[in-house]
Structure 1
């Protein structure tokens, strides 16, 4: 049976009937808005979450890692890899959309997992994801070194890491709204230049560059030459080897769920971010990967991870065609991209710690923020550890460090995506078990339940696939070193989960009938806090009381 203390008033979903002081029409119901129990400020709007959701994950994984994937799996291998991984994050984004609107919490999916799945799983996910964020910061700083190497090798690696580490720190120490504006500008640059990449890539593949076609076929067009000559490399294992890089390239897409906690009206903002997901997937990853497969040979010595200059395949495309100015501009866009992704990782890691603190899984001091809404106790350790880890690149090659970090991050990401899908499934199950109607949800995913099950299935399967690659790595012999370098993330997750299970001594999963669906929930009036008006047939017949 449904909770009798809750009823539907007009177009408002689940407003407590005993709440005497209802918000003014068009505002959020602060009295019941337990999602705002942190000290974070709700300063961000639709534009911020849409642009951050659209381009926050466009960084080293796409621009540089695609070169390694092309070299290992061939053009068809990398293209199919992005199609598959894109379908997974598209499914995950629908689960994020439905839950982030009702439960816009500081650590989002960590608190969703804690509420709807299991306290121990929430603990493991939270700390695992915090590790993932500082690994990503280190990897993006490593990417900066590779990008700068296209222009000069005179600056020491340690100096480059230090300089750009300070840039990422500067992005995060200002007001939250300043950080969001920086990310919007970076997203605009990335999003705008991808059209240049697509159009120019088509022209160059047709032999329209100053040097005509690819050197392997002088004077001719390239087209799908490499698809015909070498569509797949290294067999099925080669294809499997691109999946960690594809997942790493898409990691960070879930950050829209974290940003929702500091958005003035998630009901207005989050659906836009979810609906724009297909744009990012189709333009950046699918069309972007297709462009490099028809312009760059998988055997090019200059690809990232090969024996040459270790450049981005997008830069190589312009350089080989004789369009040097575009090669330099592309490299500058990549530099902005990796710094942007490093910045959002610092933001995300600090918010994860705020959420863990709210759940009493981290020191309470982690919740403290200053008057500008900056959680210093979460920001400082995330930025310090992430930046410090980047100095591994001083003694090891950039592509080697990238391989370690991307494999570790992709496993953490798959665990996080899987928990998001599982939390969505469990949330809907609890909603039904407690006698509530789907019509009461503020926003419904049209793809549920198939999208959630699709995402969960592939996340579980790919974790198994990565175990296979850790035991029998591509181009190397099985060894304990290779296994832990590639699969340490899963070991860490298992240890965290078992340790939390022993400590909390809880049941296997939370009881659907006992899950608190309203405690952390946010309620919405018909007219949102940003001035937009939700359509309602009943609205004109009901007069909403105002606050005194």
Structure 2
């Protein structure tokens, strides 16, 4: 019998190989990482990484600095900014659900040096934040047990969270799903509670919009004197910066896309649902906090990191409800554990993406048979040891500098995602690929991406305005050290590797895609009004 393969047999073999490859992409592995996360896991990973102390505690400072309406507008405005970022990512992430996500897109579509600098500063931000969350655990538990050793608490939770991230990713997804569910239930419960109190169920009777009248809808910023309008605008802008920090983590959908089942269906669905849910939780919470707590309440700026500083607790105290503080402190504990869990997960996957792009040592991509990149997990979790530095009297200064490095990393990442999408669209056009052939086509482009890029850059350069009122050299470097580090990483990589900007005609828009051609999977097209409404909601 001849060993020669006939043209028909060769075609069948290619089709079979293509189908098997597609099946592996859906249910098997991405490199050595396995696609085992489901849609509900993907949504909760993003929610868990975003809804944290920034909402449960930091929102109080936002109300105090800008007033109820100023804070509401600030959080809503940044919500629109996040929407532009997620729409930009959805189109790329659905077509190319690769490990490392946006860092890989920067390398492919813009410049390898951008991917290098963006990836490392994003990883460093999550690694430093992990140390912060470990420190916050001690503060929260001290609310009940003031004499418990901080070092012991840091050690226990450092080991526990690291161990949890070494389990198969499906266990991580399940763990994060239930932790995030606690946050969601708490916020929904608070909104229902706030409606009842505002309607007159509390000891103060009917409130309505009384806090918007007295002390007022906008608060003048304390650093600006002599110009009331400018002071109120400064308060609003300061809240926008805080809101940006609070929303950071929404992009974790992109980090987890490489380990998600059927990403072309689940990634865009998760992005839509995650954005609307987070916007509802944040804007809804800020709205009702502003109705219940006057912006001049001194407890809003107490500076504490436990339940006593939470505007949720302050609102309950003002209404005469006494059981809320302990309940909120329990929730805060879950919040911190969930955030720390997401820190290690996202940091480790970004490292794997950097390895795939040749921007990190290869040993960091080593995985166990269960698909967990144990080397990247251990390397990221090791930065939790920085939490011990905060135990010393002089260590807090170093620790705060490290945290400021992480502060602007989210805005840099968002701006880069918008830029990557603009270049992605150029690459598709240059290579004759219609955006209509993509699994997901975002609307309002390229205007939405341009809006996000310009707005993010504006915030990056103005987020440290307090250093100029009056001028303070220490505050200036504290605010802009992350931007400086990003620029240094970019320039050093550019000088060492002599990398060039990617030509749209040669940009890699196919490697890692779910199909080797531009065929669109058939989907049910909504026709009736009810079907369209349901499709929009889902």
Give the 3-state SS of the residue equivalent to 1:523 in structure 2: coil
* Counterpart check, 1:272 vs 2:258: no
The answer to whether 1:250 aligns with 2:250 is no
Per the TM alignment, residue 94 of structure 1 is displaced from its structure 2 partner at its CA by 1.1
Map 1:289-308 to 2 at 5 A.
Answer: 289-303=286-300, 305-306=302-303
> Are 1:288 and 2:278 counterparts?
no
Query: How far apart, CA to CA, are the structure 1 residues paired with 2:396 and 2:56?
Result: 13
* Aligned ranges 1:13-412 → 2 under 5 Å: 20-23=13-16, 29=22, 38-209=31-202, 212-213=203-204, 221=207, 223-226=209-212, 228-230=214-216, 231-234=218-221, 235=231, 236-303=233-300, 305-306=302-303, 310-385=308-383, 387-395=384-392, 407-412=404-409
The match for 1:430 is 427
Matches of 1:273 and 1:308 in 2, distance apart?
Answer: 31
Q: Residue 398 of structure 1: CA displacement?
A: 13
Distance, in Å, in 1 between the alignment partners of 2:325 and 2:220 is 27
CA contact (8 A) 1:205 1:295 kept: yes
Residue aligning to 1:472: 468
Q: Which has the larger displacement, 265-274 or 308-317?
A: 308-317
Match of 1:4 in 2: none
Shift, 1:365, TM fit: 1.0
Counterpart Cα distance in 2 of 1:258 and 1:124: 17
CA distance in 2, matches of 1:18, 1:413: 47
The 1:527–1:439 alpha-carbon spacing in structure 2 relative to 1, beyond 3 Å, is closer
More divergent stretch after superposition (311-320 vs 155-164): 155-164
Q: Kindly tell me: are residues 356 and 126 of structure 1, through their superposed partners in 2, closer, same or farther at Cα, counting changes over 3 Å?
A: same
Q: CA deviation at 1:397?
A: 12
Report the alpha carbon displacement of residue 293 of structure 1 after superposing the two structures with TM.
1.3
Cα distance, 1:130–1:32 mapped onto 2, change above 3 Å: closer
Q: 1:412: Cα distance to partner?
A: 0.5
Q: Deviations over 1:265-297 (max 9, x none)?
A: 101211211221343233211011111111123
Deviates more, 1:128-137 or 1:151-160: 151-160
- CA pair 238-417 structure 1, distance change in 2 beyond 3 A: same
> Alpha-carbon deviation of 1:370?
0.4
**Aligned-pair distance for 1:376?**
1.5
- Look up the match of 2:7: none
Question: What's the CA shift for 1:176?
Answer: 1.0
CA deviations on 1:396-436 (whole Å, 9 max, x unpaired) are: 79999997666543410011001111111111111011111
Q: Distance in 2 between matches of 1:270 and 1:331?
A: 33
Provide the TM-score with structure 2 as the length reference.
Answer: 0.85
**Match of residue 420, structure 1, among 397, 417, 422:** 417
Aligned to 1:512: 504
In structure 2, distance between residues paired with 1:241 and 1:406: 18
Unpaired runs of at least 5, structure 2 = 1-9, 222-230, 526-538
Give the deviation of 1:446 after TM superposition. 2.2
Of residues 222-231 and 441-450 in structure 1, the stretch that sits farther from structure 2 once superposed is 222-231
Structure 1: how far apart are the matches of 2:180 and 2:305?
A: 30
Deviations 1:51-74 (A, max 9, x none): 223443111111111122223332
Q: How many residues align?
A: 503
Change over 3 Å in CA distance of 1:31–1:146 after alignment to 2: closer
- Equivalence for 2:455: 458
Residues 179 and 334 in structure 2, CA contact (< 8 A), matched pair in contact too: yes
Q: 1:192 offset after TM fit, Å?
A: 2.1
Give the deviation of 1:147 after TM superposition: 3.0
CA deviation after TM superposition for structure 1 residue 451, in Å: 2.0
Answer yes or no: is the 8 Å Cα contact 1:248–1:406 preserved in 2.
no
The answer to which of 102-111 and 227-236 deviates more is 227-236
Shift of 1:323: 1.8
Contact 1:301 1:307 in 2 (8 A): no
Say whether residues 1:522 and 2:514 are aligned partners: yes
Q: Secondary structure at the match of 2:297?
A: coil
Please give the per-residue CA displacement for 1:125-166, whole angstroms capped at 9, x wherever unaligned.
011111111122123233333433443423243333333333
Distance 2:452 2:12 in 1: 39
Q: Supply the distance in 1 between the matched residues of 2:406 and 2:305 (Cα, whole angstroms).
A: 26
Q: Which shows bigger deviation, 335-344 or 169-178?
A: 169-178
> C-alpha distance in 2, partners of 1:119/1:25?
30
Residues 356 and 18 of structure 1: CA distance in aligned 2, closer, same or farther (over 3 Å): farther
Kept after mapping to 2: 8 A contact 1:172/1:343: yes
Q: Distance in 2 between matches of 1:396 and 1:242?
A: 30
Deviation readout 1:225-263 (Å, 9 max, x if unpaired): 155414223123332222332111111110101111001
Alpha carbons 1:23, 1:525 under 8 Å: kept: no
The structure, 1 or 2, with the larger RCO (C-alpha pairs under 8 Å, 6+ apart) is 1
Structure 1 residue 320: Cα displacement: 3.0
The alignment partner of 2:50 has SS state of: coil
